[in-house]
Amino acid sequence: MAQFEFDSSIKGALPADFQWGYATAAPQIEGAWNKDGKGLSIWDTFGHTPDKVKDGSNADDTARSYDLYKQDVARMKRYGVTAYRFSLSWSRIIPLGGKDDPVNEQGIEFYSKLIDELIANGITPFVTLFHWDTPQALEDRYGGMLDKEKYIPDFNRYARVCFERLGDRVKQWITYNEPGVYTLAGYAAGVHAPARSSFRDLNEEGDSSTEPFIVAHTELLSHAYAAKIYKEEFKPQQKGTIMITLHGNWNEPWDESDPKDVEAAQRAQEFEIAWFADPLYKTGDYPASMRAQLGDRLPRFTPEESRLVLGSSEAYGMNSYTAFYVRHRDAEPDINDHKGNVEVSDTNKHGVERGIESDTPWLRTSPWGWGKLLRWIWDRYQTPIFITENGTTAKGEHDFKPKGPDDVLEDPHRIDFYKSYLSEVAKASQEGVVIKSYFGWTFTDNWEWAAGFTDRFGATWVDFDDPEKPRYAKRSAYFLRDFFGHLIKGGTN
């Protein structure tokens, strides 16, 4: 076993009750896409549509976690995790999705068994209700989240079923994963399900200038209603908490001495993060910078809706990976702009790169921006932070040829990533930023949405060419176990 050296100045920097582990999403790992009564999701449809996924693959089997969950939980225990964040497949629980549609007992039973297995192994479940996989039936009936009046009762009922059937054991609920990415990739760029945009060479339907903001509004309101249901009907007995998880990377001025670039970086931050976080944690409304650019294309909250949304999330769920340099644009914003009218760059005015390349073009190791982002979120929202996703791919991992079941893939790039990012978490914690958890993305290599199997984010290598989907540890899994033993107060290292 490799021995790792750790910085003594950050030993015990994280509180004793800090929870860490890995995050996953049902469509990316489960497989069993049509097994035991599961209905279709929009990602099943997307994966079976030609030319949508980079390598032509689909999520029919992916990592087969539906069948191999006991093996996976045993591996998590070996990795030393204290928590596991996973999502429920709405269409596995309610195959047609709607408020009057039947519940699939086999779907409930699967998640119930998974939760029991985690708890029996001393692992705390963090459960996400929605990780991008809207039931296809709701998309077909009324356009899914584009119809807020029809969608909200359906989501409310789904949430209530989950709280009723699983909430006796689940104490950490997350309503939505990255509502902004779901809207931008699915309705602005049209490169994710449900594949809508203004670009007719790519998508037959959609309007990139309006639909993302309509969908985001639906997500915020449906989150708030579900949180209200939980707090009023279930929390008094179940004693859990409920939050939402937001995406957002750090935006740094291209020229830090140019006030226009400084302003542009802040505006980019607001378009990406404050779009959701300001209504939830600060003002009950969208940022003024967004209203100034978008006008009436940005929906408005009624006073009642504003009160409902503000304070609905009991903590700040944070997903973040990298940082970018941004430069102001003097030209009028494009009708389909969602970034705040900025130019995004890999280098700044002085030619400084934002970080070391991974195996994923947008993702570079940028701990300097990660540290700034942690403080920006804390300063702006003063809400305890649960880091719910962070991780990286690494070049060359597709070529791994394991020699035996105990072979370990050496992944120094990922270890360096985790070491540098977690050092920033530790330092921020020492400064008084309240950070409660860290979930690496992800537990096993998986089906990375439109990238298919071309992006390997896992701490566990999966042989996707073998129908049994055998797993092999990556060195970073053992590194994280030891590093958290050093970082958490009262730990073993």
What is the average pLDDT across 435-461? Answer: 98
- Which of 389, 397, 424, 448 is labelled catalytic? 389
What is the average pLDDT across 89-115? Answer: 98
Domains of the chain (ranges; CATH) run 8-487 (3.20.20.80)
The C-alpha atoms of residue 385 and residue 431 are separated, in whole angstroms, by 14
Could you give the 3-state DSSP secondary structure of residue 240? Answer: coil
Out of 393-397, 402-406, 484-488, which region has the weakest mean confidence (pLDDT)? Answer: 402-406
Residue 492 has pLDDT above 80, yes or no: no
From the list 273, 143, 275, the residue with the least C-alpha distance to 213 is 275
What is the average pLDDT across 256-283? Answer: 98
Residue 313 has pLDDT above 50, yes or no: yes
349-358: long-range contacts, CB 8 A cutoff, minimum separation 24: 349/254, 349/255, 354/252, 354/322, 354/323, 354/324, 354/325, 355/322, 355/323, 356/413, 356/416, 357/395, 358/392, 358/393, 358/394, 358/395, 358/413, 358/417
431 is catalytic: no
**Mode of pairing for the β-strands spanning 435-441 and 385-390:** parallel
The label of the residue with tokens 């050093």 reads: 486
pLDDT tens string 177-217: 999 999 999 999 999 999 999 999 999 999 999 999 999 99
Q: What is the pLDDT of residue 1?
A: 39
Residue 491 has pLDDT above 80, yes or no: no
Asked if residue 91 lies in contact with residue 40, where contact means CB atoms within 8 angstroms, the answer is yes
pLDDT tens string 273-298: 999 999 999 999 999 999 999 999 99
Q: What is the pLDDT of residue 469?
A: 98
256 is catalytic: no
Residue 69 has pLDDT above 70, yes or no: yes
- Which of 117, 139, 178, 448 is labelled catalytic? 178
What is the average pLDDT across 4-8? Answer: 90
Q: What is the pLDDT of residue 232?
A: 98
Q: What is the pLDDT of residue 149?
A: 98
The C-alpha atoms of residue 196 and residue 199 are separated, in whole angstroms, by 8
What is the average pLDDT across 76-85? Answer: 98
Residue 3 has pLDDT above 90, yes or no: no
Average pLDDT, the chain: 97
Residue 339 has pLDDT above 80, yes or no: yes
